[in-house]
Structure formats: structure tokens, C-alpha cells
Amino acid sequence: MTCLSTIIVTAFYFALKKENVLPIYQPANVNVELVDNSIQHVTKYHKINDFSLVNQNGKTVTQQDYAGKIYVADFFFTTCQTICPIMTKNMAAIQKEILDNDDIMLLSHSVTPEIDTVAQLKRYAIEKGVIDSKWNLVTGDKKQIYDLARKSYLAVKSQGNHDYGMVHTENFMLIDKERRIRGFYDGTNEEDIKKLLEDIETLKASYE
């Protein structure tokens, strides 16, 4: 009887533990409108590709700056008057919650790099309360940003033209230390932001 009880308790423990494991998203699991045709068939091993972009301080930011970090990524543009102000406000709220944790960062990519120069990003960063050590706003080569959005983060819709036009979405993506996508969230929705913060805690705990 004792042995049976132990088995039941152990099974229950692992069932509970399993519930707290975040999924790992693959291109084949995501809305096809957000995924480049070349990778829509991929069902495993998907990771965020290497990148080299420039932040609000003119500093080159690469995947090495996020090595060993959990981070939240999104796509925006500084002149957006619709969903971006809400997304940025909510990202700032996340920044406040993670301020004392060196293992967690934020990364926002401009989808209009031709407009969002370093100077423009700096003005925006100051206005929105961006803390440089926690949150990079990045600009750079438009094709690279397009490829990151469509082939790495699975986050934007293509405009279907030849200049790498992007229709950004409200998505926030949670990225783990292995550069895998662990969650998608509506960056304009307060309940989703709460869920994102909870999932950050779950992901943190998985590394302890």
C-alpha cells in the first residue's frame, strides 16, 4: 500500500511539474501568415538566428549580448500611432518588473529602419523611459530585420512586395536561454502581459 501511495504521489508530482513546462514553438505550429514560406515545414530545432543591429546609443547589438539571457522581443516603429504606444507602455511595465534580474532583457526591432535612425530611437527611448542596460531598441539593415521577423521570431506579416515590407503585429515573444520561442503574447492586452510575467517566472525556475 505504501509503495502504491508513493507511486501515486510521484506521478502526481510529475504531472504538476509538467504543467509548468512552457511549450517550445516551431514554425509549423505558428500562424502561416507570420512564417516565411521557406520554413513553414519545420517542426523541431528552431532557434533565433544570429543578428547584428544598432541600438539607441549607436552600439552594435548581437546575439552575444543576449547569450545566457531570457528575453522578450517585439517589432514596432517609432512613428506608429495605433498599437505601438500601447505595446511600448506594456514593455516598459515589464522592464519595471525585471529591473533587478540580470538574466532577463528586452529587445524591440524597428520595422521602418529607414525612418528609425539612431537619433530617432534615442529620442523615443528617452520619452518612453527605456533603461539602456535592460532594453535595446534596434535598427539596421531592412532585409536582416525582415528575415529575423519572418524566419526567427515568426512575428510579422509580409506586405508581399520586393522591399521587405512588414506589417508588424501586437506579438511579444518570450525567448529562452537556448534562443527558442517559449511563448507568444498580445502586447496590447493586460491579461496577456500578466501571463507573460508569470511565464518568465516559470522559465526562470526551469534554470534553477
Is 3 marked as binding a ligand? no
Pairing mode, strands 181-186 and 135-138: unpaired
**Integer Cα distance of 20 and 181 in angstroms:** 16
- 181-186/171-175 β-pairing: antiparallel
Domains of the chain: 23-206 (3.40.30.10)
Is 84 annotated for ligand binding? yes
User: Is-contact 166 61, C-beta < 8 A?
Assistant: no
Alpha helices in 20-110 (DSSP H): 84-98
Q: What's the predicted TM-score (pTM) here? A: 0.89
Q: What is the pLDDT of residue 16?
A: 42
Give tens-digit pLDDT for 53-67. 999 999 999 999 999
Q: Is 162 annotated as belonging to a binding site? A: no
Instruction: Say if residue 63 is exposed, middle or buried (CB neighbours under 10 Å; 0-12, 13-18, 19+).
Output: middle
pLDDT 10s digits, 104-142: 999 999 999 999 999 999 999 999 999 999 999 999 999
Average pLDDT, the chain: 91
Percent of the chain with pLDDT over 90: 84
**What number of other Cβ atoms are within 10 A of residue 91's Cβ?**
23
Tell me which amino acid residue 77 is: F
Question: And the C-alpha cell for 168?
Answer: 508588424
Q: How far apart, in Å, are the Cα atoms of 149 and each of 54, 84, 185?
A: 16, 16, 15
Q: Are 124 and 137 in contact (CB under 8 A)?
A: yes
DSSP state of 132: T
CB 167 within 8 A of CB 156: yes
As given in the structure block, the three cell numbers for residue 135 are 532594453
How far is Cα 104 from Cα 71, in angstroms, rounded to an integer? Answer: 5
Angle between helical axes of 118-128 and 84-98 (0-180°, round to 10)? 70
- At residue 19, the pLDDT reads 59
